[in-house]
Amino acid sequence: MTKKLKKRLRRIILGAAAFVAAIFLEHSIFTPESRIILLPYLIAYAIIGGDVVKKALMNIRRGQIFDENFLTLIATVGAFFVGEYPEAAAVMLFYQIGEWFQSYAVNRSRKSIRELMDIRPDYANVLREGEELVLDPEEVRIGEIIRIKPGERVPLDGVVVKGSGSLDTMALTGESMPRDVHPGEEIISGCINLNSVLEAEVTKVFGESTVNRILELVENASSEKAVTEQFITRFARYYTPVVVILAALLAVIPPIFVGNFPAWLYRALTFLVISCPCALVISIPLSFFGGLGGASKAGILVKGSNYLEILAETELVVMDKTGTLTKGSFVVSEIASEGEITEEELLYLTALAESFSNHPISLSIKNCCKKTLSLEEIENSEERAGYGVITAWKGRKIFVGNEKLMAEQGIAVPALEKPGTICHVACEGEEQKEYLGYLVVTDEIKEDAASCIKKLYASGVKRIVMLTGDRKITAQDVAGRLGIKEIYAELLPQDKLNIVERLFSEKSEKGKLVFVGDGINDTPVLARADIGIAMGGMGADAAIEAADVVIMNDQPSKIATAMAISRKTLVIVKENIVFALGIKVLVLLLAALGTASMWAAVFADVGVAFLAILNAMRAMKVKEGKGTR
């Protein structure tokens, strides 16, 4: 609790005590008719509402009559005027309690969201001239070596030069599995070093490091306001004046016809108590803020309340294949040898032939072969882009490559209708070239990709379309396994935008189009879609920049989680709007008819704000895996 809040609380308690004392006096010492009872109530009123009166008077001087302080002043002074002393003091008391609680709630949620995003590193241990210095991360330069001890937070992005260990990326990705790092690998600021001393060379200054970019993004997120929020702001601007004018009319017009001015005045004053739209003005942004906070806790960065709002209306999801649904890392999925050679020998031979190539396919084959490669046996190796490699080994040539390479060399290959990349292997024999067999290399589908698609359909997404630059047969295979019905394959990067444009024209007007990609090559599409979601935002600057929603780790199921958070937030927002407005309108009606007292009005004002705020705070809580709701 801040000092200011504590001070206000003390005054409220003191005022409440004075109020209770006044009630006691009224019922014991003084006779009900005695006007002297005004005095203790006035004292209580002054203690509780002194600052409100002061502010209200200052505002009158400036001509701000629709200010809530002023309206509370009028309502309470009016209540004194019609002889309702306890109510006058009570309205002021509850008004102050309500205000205090609002401040308290805002402070609380602000604090808990800050704790949620408590990833800012406080210091960096820098090695300068052999000495370890503790510096502010902002003072560290690129190329310097930092030391990260167990339990410390990685202060800047860098590359490990010494030591291996595990990093806790929870705060960044929502992922509880620690990540192992070894020399030569990148480490990302904001992670916590779990078990061993690491030394790393800094690759980015603090301002450009991941942790700082994320913090800036989260802090600026709530300034992009949702349509509902803007509506509430506009609504609030009209609500107060309208209620005040109605109150004025109520006080003046009916008495002309039916008389009994004090009774009508009391009803009008009741109106004034309900004239503040606080419950809405505070609880709606709080709900969105909570939703954004909850999402970042789950490793999903949403760049603004507006995106959180749109996400719930997703009708069409367009997904890139590689890097989004598949890992983008290749593995050997099948080895088929022909003739006398065994599968193991074929793999070894292929790995050896590919050993000088850095192509992803070659790397995956080398990874698959567990035997040590006798590189000295290789005499020469030629890599031919788009075809494969030709390697001279022990006096003869080995050919590893696609159908084009085989055709060029006049080697007959079996006709294969298989998904994945097929690597044919042949070698020079005694008389003619001999076909040895083939390897199939495929991109692995992410573990949660299928459940992600299922959850998306379950949550009301009508169409899911997969785009890929890959071969059609591979795309069909992946789509089939994931349950995706529509695919566009063999696309060039520029085709993706055209297809997304076409899909835009096919969807309904209200439904939104979401594009999910890994941020590489698809920046224009990310920007064109109603919402661009980038996967694997950790470390990928371009993706963080271009997307509206960034999923920090690479789990596609987080897309469904993000949508679930979005829907939950919107439900809370709607509940609050309906509840707050409903109660207010009801009490206004009852007050106009003379059946609602000022006590009911106090509830409609303060009580409703209280409940709406409690409800809004629910938005912050995110249950993992609740995507199907």
Chain centroid offset of residue 109 CA: 16
DSSP 8-state class, residue 153: B
| Closest to another protein by CB, 35 or 62 | 62
List the one residue from 31, 176, 223, 432 that touches another protein (CB under 8 A): 223
| Interface with another protein, residue 438, by CB under 8 A | no
| Closest to another protein by CB, 28 or 223 | 223
Q: Please say whether the beta carbons of 122 and 135 come within 8 A.
A: no
How is 124-138 classified by DSSP, letter by letter?
EEEEETTEEEEE-GG
Backbone φ, ψ for residue 567 (5° rounding): -65, -40
Q: Which residue has the tokens 């109106």?
A: 271
| Interface with another protein, residue 611, by CB under 8 A | no
Catalytic residue among 320, 443, 518, 548: 320
Site string for another protein, 3-22 (x = CB under 8 A): -x------------------
Give the separation between CA 469 and CA 109, rounded to whole angstroms: 45
Give the separation between CA 157 and CA 539, rounded to whole angstroms: 8
| Closest to another protein by CB, 461 or 616 | 616
CB of 425 to another protein, least distance (A): 59
List the one residue from 236, 341, 445, 450 that touches another protein (CB under 8 A): 236
List the one residue from 276, 487, 531, 570 that touches another protein (CB under 8 A): 276
Give the separation between CA 335 and CA 35, rounded to whole angstroms: 101
CB of 200 to another protein, least distance (A): 29
Give the separation between CA 373 and CA 378, rounded to whole angstroms: 10
Look up residue 596 and give its amino acid: A
Q: Which residue has the tokens 């007007």?
A: 509
Tell me how many residues contact another protein (CB under 8 A).
Answer: 26
CB of 107 to another protein, least distance (A): 6
Stretch binding another protein (CB under 8 A), from 96-104, 175-183, 330-338, 478-486: 96-104
For residue 489, what are its two tokens? 């394959």
| Closest to another protein by CB, 239 or 271 | 239
How is 75-127 classified by DSSP, letter by letter?
HHHHHHHTT-HHHHHHHHHHHHHHHHHHHHHHHHHHHHHHHHT------EEEE
Q: Please say whether the beta carbons of 420 and 360 come within 8 A.
A: no
| Closest to another protein by CB, 5 or 36 | 5
Binding to another protein, residues 126-185 (CB under 8 A): none
List the one residue from 160, 265, 281, 406 that touches another protein (CB under 8 A): 281
How is 492-522 classified by DSSP, letter by letter?
-HHHHHHHHHHHHHHS-SSSEEEEEE-SSS-
Backbone φ, ψ for residue 580 (5° rounding): -65, -45
| Interface with another protein, residue 113, by CB under 8 A | yes
Judge whether 518 counts as a catalytic residue: no
Stretch binding another protein (CB under 8 A), from 140-148, 275-283, 408-416, 449-457: 275-283
List the one residue from 109, 209, 322, 442 that touches another protein (CB under 8 A): 109
Q: How far is CA 333 from CA 330, 420, 484, 518, in A?
A: 9, 9, 22, 24
Q: How many CA atoms lie within 13 A of 270 on its CB side?
A: 28
Binding to another protein, residues 282-341 (CB under 8 A): 282, 285-286, 289
Binding to another protein, residues 45-84 (CB under 8 A): 62, 68
Stretch binding another protein (CB under 8 A), from 40-48, 277-285, 407-415, 524-532: 277-285
Active site residues: 320
Give me the residues that bind another protein (CB under 8 A), please: 2, 4, 62, 68, 99, 102-103, 106-107, 109-110, 113, 219-220, 222-223, 225, 233, 236, 276, 278, 281-282, 285-286, 289
